[in-house]
Amino acid sequence: MNLRLNMRTGIECGNVVNLGKQIFCLGCLVLSSGVLALAEEGESAEEDLKTYSLDFQSTEPGPVPSDFLVLLGAFEVKADGEARFLELPGKPLETFGTLFGPQSLMLGEVSGKLYGESTGRRYPAMGLGYNGVGGFRLQITPGKRALEIYNYDELKKTAPYRWKSGQWVWMKLNVSEKETEDGLVWVAQGKVWKEGEDEPEKWMIEYQTDEEPFPGRASVWGIPYSDKPIRFDDLKVSGK
């Protein structure tokens, strides 16, 4: 049956079946648009779950933020004038650390600023980690004049580095994977530079392993050999 509607209705003439098909196609278009929008929102949400940034300026002095998981150490948010930061006390002497940021990350990057002071010939050791408690750790060890990479708490690679007491330094640790002739390997790369200087283009230290890392959170670490507090700030995580 054909229907023809006049101009008063604002609808062109047409076959009822064809009109039904048009309505069905329009519904499919709306549905697909909705699914696409939800997919885009899901991708955006997934990306949000892989990134993290905290400069402590809006964090009240006192206990660490609720999303931090302190493994060992009396970490607290402290203030010095208008500046706020995470601080590890200078005593007792032990290897202290706390996890932060997104969970279950395998590949990606963590960066932040670190500050420490020496006492005579005693120097603090401090660093950033990725892949959870036993993952990769980039560490400044001034007593050895070295920049080091640890994995499963074992020293894997060392590069020369001269640290200066009482100065903020940036650190960046990147974890990636690549194909080689012998198969897939995982690569940990690190760099350090003084606050106020440009970030180096090249990585200063690199370690490769054929052992797949466990997924986990980023971390900060400190060993206060000098009995002076160690500070951390501007923490960022970018997972892949």
74 within a domain of the structure (yes/no):
yes
Q: Residues 98, 21: one domain?
A: no
State the Cα–Cα distance between residues 159 and 146, nearest whole angstrom.
6
Expressed as residue numbers, the domain containing 30 is 13-47
1 within a domain of the structure (yes/no):
no
Q: Residues 86, 151: one domain?
A: yes
Percent residues over pLDDT 70 in the chain: 80
Q: Residues 77, 41: one domain?
A: no
Percent residues over pLDDT 90 in the chain: 78
Q: Residues 145, 94: one domain?
A: yes
**DSSP structure string for the chain:** -EE---GGGT---EEHHHHHHHHHHHHHHHHHHHHHHHHHHHHHHHHHTTEEEE-STTSPSBSPPTT-EEEES--EEEEETTEEEEEE-S-S-S-EEEEEEEEEE-SEEEEEEEE---BTTB--EEEEEESSTTSEEEEEEGGGTEEEEEETTEEEEEEE----TT--EEEEEEEEEEEETTEEEEEEEEEEEETTSPPPSS-SEEEEESSPPPPEEEEEEEE-TTSS-EEEEEEEEEE-
Chain-wide mean pLDDT for the chain?
A: 86
Q: Residues 226, 189: one domain?
A: yes
Q: Residues 35, 141: one domain?
A: no
Chain-centre distance for alpha carbon 180: 26
Which tops the pLDDT comparison, 181 or 41? 181
Q: Residues 98, 163: one domain?
A: yes
The CATH number covering residue 221 comes to 2.60.120.560
Q: Residues 113, 17: one domain?
A: no
Q: Residues 58, 167: one domain?
A: yes
Q: pTM of the prediction?
A: 0.80
Q: How many domains does the chain have?
A: 2
Q: What average pLDDT does the segment 45-56 reach?
A: 79
5 within a domain of the structure (yes/no):
no
99 within a domain of the structure (yes/no):
yes
**Per-residue pLDDT reduced to its tens digit, 18-35:** 434 443 343 443 334 443
Residue 49 has a pLDDT of: 78
Residue 240 has a pLDDT of: 85
182 within a domain of the structure (yes/no):
yes
